[in-house]
Amino acid sequence: MSDFRMPSLGADMEKGTVVEWLKKPGEKIARGDVVAVVETQKGAFEVEIFEDGVLSEILVPVGTEVPVGAVLARIESGEAKPLAKPAPPAPRPAVAPSPTPPPRPSLPSAGERLRLSPAAARRAAELHVDPHSVTGSGQGGAITLADIEAAVARAGRTTGEKGRRGFDPSAMRQAIASAMARSKREIPHYYLSLPIDMSRALQWLAAENARRDVENRLLAGVLLLKATALALKDVPELNGFWIEGGPRLSTGIHVGWAISLRGGGLMAPAIHDADGKSIDQLMAALRDLVVRARTARLRGSEMTDPTVTVTSLGERGAERVYGVIYPPQLAIVGFGAVRPAPAIVDGAVAARPTVYATVSGDHRASDGVSGSRLLAAIDSRLQAPEAL
Nearer to another protein, 144 or 311 (CB): 144
Q: Shortest gap between Cβ of 137 and another protein (angstroms)?
A: 8
Segment interacting with another protein, rule: CB under 8 A, options 57-65, 132-140, 326-334, 339-347: 132-140
Q: Shortest gap between Cβ of 143 and another protein (angstroms)?
A: 9
Q: Shortest gap between Cβ of 146 and another protein (angstroms)?
A: 8
- Cα Rg of the chain (Å, integer): 23
Q: Shortest gap between Cβ of 107 and another protein (angstroms)?
A: 17
Report in angstroms the alpha-carbon separations of 248 from 23, 85, 333: 35, 19, 19
Nearer to another protein, 66 or 120 (CB): 120
Cα–Cα dist 114/119, whole Å: 14
- Positive or negative: CA dihedral 156, 158, 160, 162: negative
Q: Shortest gap between Cβ of 123 and another protein (angstroms)?
A: 9
Pick from 24, 82, 139, 156: which binds another protein (CB under 8 A)?
Answer: 139
Q: Shortest gap between Cβ of 122 and another protein (angstroms)?
A: 5
Nearer to another protein, 121 or 249 (CB): 121
- Positive or negative: CA dihedral 176, 180, 182, 187: positive
Task: Report whether 345 contacts 291 (CB < 8 A).
Answer: no
Q: Give the contact letters, 58-97, x = binds to another protein (CB under 8 A), - = no.
A: ----------------------------------------
Cα–Cα dist 174/352, whole Å: 41
Cα–Cα dist 237/239, whole Å: 6
Nearer to another protein, 147 or 362 (CB): 147
Nearer to another protein, 137 or 251 (CB): 137
Select from 125, 126, 118 the least CA-distant residue to 144.
118
Q: Shortest gap between Cβ of 142 and another protein (angstroms)?
A: 7
Our finding on whether 142 is near another protein (CB under 8 A) is yes
Residues of span 178-237 touching another protein by CB under 8 A: none
Nearer to another protein, 116 or 232 (CB): 116
Nearer to another protein, 140 or 347 (CB): 140
Q: Shortest gap between Cβ of 98 and another protein (angstroms)?
A: 24
| Total residues binding another protein (CB under 8 A) | 14
Q: Shortest gap between Cβ of 112 and another protein (angstroms)?
A: 19
Nearer to another protein, 137 or 216 (CB): 137
Q: Give the contact letters, 91-130, x = binds to another protein (CB under 8 A), - = no.
A: --------------------------xxxxxx--------
Pick from 138, 163, 252, 317: which binds another protein (CB under 8 A)?
Answer: 138
Nearer to another protein, 99 or 138 (CB): 138
367-372, Cβ contacts within 8 angstroms, sequence gap of 24 or more? 367/190, 368/190, 368/192, 370/235, 370/237, 370/238, 371/190, 371/192, 371/238, 371/331, 372/192, 372/194
Contacts with another protein, residue ranges (CB under 8 A): 117-122, 137-140, 142, 144-146
